[in-house]
Structure 1
Amino acid sequence: MRLKHKKALVTGASGGIGRAIALQLAREGCWVGVHYFDKEEEAKQVQTEIENQGGKAYLFQADLSEVAQAKSIATAAWEAMQGIDYLVNNAGISYKKHFLDVDEADVDAFMDVNFKGTFFLSQTLAHLMIRHQIEGSIYTITSVNALRPGLGLSTYGATKGALETLMKGVAMELAPHQIRVNTIALGAFETDITAPVWQNPTLLKEVNDGIPMGRFGQPYEAAAVIVDLLSSGSYLTGASITLDGGLLLMRGYGKPNLYDTEK
């Protein structure tokens, strides 16, 4: 119960890594705000699981691609939970598309959810933390593709890279208020988004061969690291923690091919 009497808002918490983070926070005694976009039933299941373990959970729906909703969920969660100590920016979108096929709608989608939604939610909550003198913490989930591009992931990686730069600046500016700001750059994890890979034996072997630990990470492994850092990282700010099983230590997988101009 290392986080007893603490309160956290986790975005994208209806499934995958966000769900694992929410559950792990609750096991440590934290009250948890469970954000979801369109998976209400899954979010309710997370809430029920937390409450069945004796924890306390709140549900918050918002489309983070809309700046107004990104801001309003921060204030709604703050009021409902009577303050927030931790924000975990986990929500985001990811899909592969060749640079030459990316259109304005793709760029807008990645920027609106991954960058702008995270930006304005964090900003609004930081204002509240400062106003109420909360020495809180903000963790943002990014990606190894923010640090090293992946095939078909240049646009996605660019938005995650922008978050890496943003949060380092935010860490400096919020440090005088004792608000710690860090990022977690994740590698290959077994979630719904990556299912087309880990459910395909051929693709799975190809990816695993490029990971020194030889396997995908599990959501609970990401959750464990974040919760440990929240409970002990009182002097950690402006850091980027890479959690990838050693993926970035190797050359990676996949080889670029000529663009098919006939498609």
Structure 2
Amino acid sequence: MLLCADFDIKDYKDVINSRNFSGKVVLVTGSSSGIGEGITKLFSILGANVVVTGRKEADVQRVAKEVQELSPKKLKPLEVVGDLTKTEVINTLIANTIKRFGKLDVLVNNAGMGMATNITQKDLMQVWDQVFAIDLRAVVELIHESVPYLEKTNGTIIDISSIAALAPLAETLAYGPAKAGLDMITRVLALELGAKGIRVNTINPGTIHTTDILDPMSAHIYEVSKKIAPLKRLGQPLDIAKAVAFLASSDASFITGANLVVDGGVVYNFGYLH
């Protein structure tokens, strides 16, 4: 007879409540628009206390108001406006989160930028430094400041990368390497922080509908992406938010150092975006 060591049946039943984030504190960077806004809204609906942060005060206030309305208990989010490439802003963000909520359970590193870059453009190094400052350096600094608090809660870190980290695409000379670096940081920190009870994972989105369809460049990318995606549609912020909620949940308690690709399968035809 085969014997299998397994969890108690109550652990199976707990899966019913695995998306209940009541009492949890979730910080999503770049949460005043786009993917970050979607992630923050979903966590608020799922009962969490959330932090809304971004560069533009009006956007932060708008999302914060919507998030509070979505919260089952009308929990008021923390609002923080600032540029994460500045150390003082990162320090203030973490300090204010702990001051308001007393802890941190989930850190989602979503803030980033992607600018078209190629090896011959005159301002290449200026753009390179801008992209790496927000897409990579700010992430490392924010994690550095957050680890002492995440260790206390057996928290989790989720980095929002891109399929540009997995497949090369022209005009992404800065963005692609920055996101590939983010994927490696996730793996390194999964090894380093596992002993502290902290899980670290990455989500690699494909083409997500976040910008105005009237923008000519966005319209072109969206049109091509729908054609080459096996699922024949664009991703939505909610698609990424659902993946984040899964990785932050108890259902993913044995997942760390992973790259979860959420792209409708477009990565396999990525070259057609040229």
Give the TM-score of the pair, scaled to structure 1: 0.89
Q: What percentage of residue pairs aligned between the two structures are identical?
A: 27
- Given the alignment of the two structures, is residue 57 of structure 1 paired with residue 77 of structure 2, yes or no? yes
* Per-residue deviation, 1:198: 7.4
The corresponding residue for 2:153 is 134
Give the 3 Å change call, closer, same or farther, for CA 149–24 of structure 1 in structure 2.
Answer: same
For residues 72-151 of structure 1, the aligned pairs below 5 Å read: 72-101=92-121, 103-130=124-151, 133-151=152-170
Deviates more, 1:157-166 or 1:227-236: 227-236
Instruction: Describe the superposition over 1:201-249 as per-residue Cα deviations: whole angstroms up to 9, x where unpaired.
Output: x553323222111221011111112112212211111111001100112
Specify every segment of 5 or more residues in structure 1 that has no aligned partner in the other structure, as ranges.
256-263
Q: Number of matched residues? A: 251
State the shift of 1:107 in Å: 1.1
Larger deviation, residues 181-190 vs 64-73: 64-73
For residues 137-162 of structure 1, give each alpha carbon's deviation from its aligned partner in whole angstroms, at most 9, with x where no partner exists.
00010000011121101211111111
Change in CA separation of 1:97 and 1:198 when aligned onto 2, cut-off 3 Å: closer
C-alpha distance in structure 2 between counterparts of 1:191 and 1:32, whole Å: 21
Amino acid at match of 1:60: V
Q: Which residue of 2 aligns with 1:210?
A: 228
Correspondence for 1:172 among 191, 194, 206: 191
- Equivalent AA in structure 2 for residue 82 of structure 1: G
1:17 paired residue among 32, 35, 54: 35
Query: Contact between 1:73 and 1:121, CA under 8 Å: does it hold in 2?
Result: no
Give the counterpart of 1:36 among 33, 38, 54: 54
CA–CA distance in 1 between the matches of 2:162 and 2:131? Answer: 13
Q: Among 209, 216, 219, which residue is 2:237 paired with? A: 219
Residue 74 and residue 36 in structure 1: after superposition, are their counterparts in 2 closer, same or farther (change >3 A)?
Answer: same
Change beyond 3 A, Cα 1:64–1:177: same
TM-score w.r.t. length of structure 2: 0.86
Q: Equivalents in 1 of 2:52, 2:45: separation in Å?
A: 14
2:255 pairs with 1:239: no
Is the contact between residue 71 and residue 120 of structure 1 (CA under 8 Å) also seen in structure 2?
no
SS in structure 1 of the partner of residue 126 of structure 2: helix
Q: Which residue of 2 aligns with 1:228?
A: 246
Could you say what secondary structure the match of 1:253 adopts? helix
**Partner deviation per Cα, 1:134-192 (whole Å, 9 max, x = no partner):** 20000010000011121101211111111100111001111011111000011100012
Shift in alpha-carbon separation, 1:155–1:145, aligned structure 2, 3 A = same
